[in-house]
Amino acid sequence: MSDLIDKAPHCDQQEALRCTAITRLLTPEEKDLGGFAVRRLMPSDRLASVGPFVFFDHLGPAEFASGEGIDVRPHPHIGLATVTYPFEGTLMHRDSLGCVQLIRPQEINWMTAGRGIVHSERTPEAARESAHIMHALQLWVALPEEQEETAPDFHHYAAEDLPTLELEGVRVRLLIGSAYGTRSAVRTFSPTLFLEVQMPAGSTLPLPEETDELAIYLVSGAAAIDGQPLAQHEMAVIDTSRPASINVSEASRLVVLGGEPLGKRTVWWNLVSSRRELIEKAKQDWRNGHFPQVPGETEFIPLPTQRGDHD
């Protein structure tokens, strides 16, 4: 699992104001998903979630030759919502509701699995006609217990639906939730925060306040949080009981995520639930072909024989 290092400071009274707000640093584990690799930050054996987020994958930037691409075959989900956000490149989403959606950079796909949905994610044919780059994040948001078995649903949000702020030269995109006096259009089931931040060299940004749990992931560049360095591809879990700021020494891109924690969840393969019996039922249903099919798809990912990689 990922390497998580406790960084909780031990300060005397005179040093208290100089202590870092970072409580933990998480470095990713590389996962091969069949033809392409991702950096996985969650789930980890020591960090199960940040707010409602229970899963965090960073893909790329990955270079694909002409004729190649990503082919994630149909697979099931329950008890969660998937959030897909490309920085570069395109993906074609298809699901068992009949939704077919091309997702472009700076757009969000929010797919609510609820009691059960099946989807595939593939590089579109047009993109395969030449060499191309794919760079994206995919996160899973656990659903509150009372909505775990809600009807599945799908929403796509275009780039213009997601507000952008300029704060003293720092560009902040409100992907999910509210911060800095602005709210995203993305509908959620519980308080959730997800921001993309692009910072020029030498800039500083105060972190959002009034968020129960918070983490920062450095996509690229060089940053520090209250003077504590954050390396590229590290995730810092933040002490939200005190104000904190990010400053960067070079142009940097990072994401901020968090929100209200929802309690313990079991994550098995692509299935998430507060109740183990729902996981077991979903496993049996997928094994027996009882999930709905994705129109136009004939392939599928078999149920792992043991606890396996997430797809």
Confidence of residue 109 (pLDDT cuts 50, 70, 90): very high
Other C-beta atoms lying within 10 Å of the C-beta of residue 252: 23
In tens, the pLDDT along 83-108 reads 999 999 999 999 999 999 999 999 99
302 occurs within a structural domain: no
Name which residue leads in pLDDT, 19 or 302.
302
294 occurs within a structural domain: no
Pull the structure tokens for residue 274. Answer: 């507060």
Asked if the model's pLDDT at residue 201 lies above 50, the reply is yes
Other C-beta atoms lying within 10 Å of the C-beta of residue 167: 14
**Amino acid occupying residue 25:** L
311 occurs within a structural domain: no
292 occurs within a structural domain: no
308 occurs within a structural domain: no
Beta bridge partners of 50: 53
Work out how many domains the chain is built from and give that number: 1
303 occurs within a structural domain: no
Name which residue leads in pLDDT, 4 or 124.
124
232 occurs within a structural domain: yes
Look at the block and give the residue holding tokens 């994610």. Answer: 121
61 occurs within a structural domain: yes
Average pLDDT on 48-68 reads 96
Report the CATH number that the domain containing residue 96 is assigned in CATH.
Answer: 2.60.120.10
Range of the domain at 250: 3-11+19-287
Average pLDDT on 157-171 reads 96
The CA distance from 121 to 12, in Å, is: 51
Whether pTM > 0.85 for this model: the answer is yes
- φ, ψ dihedrals at 16, nearest 5°: -55, -40
Confidence of residue 66 (pLDDT cuts 50, 70, 90): very high
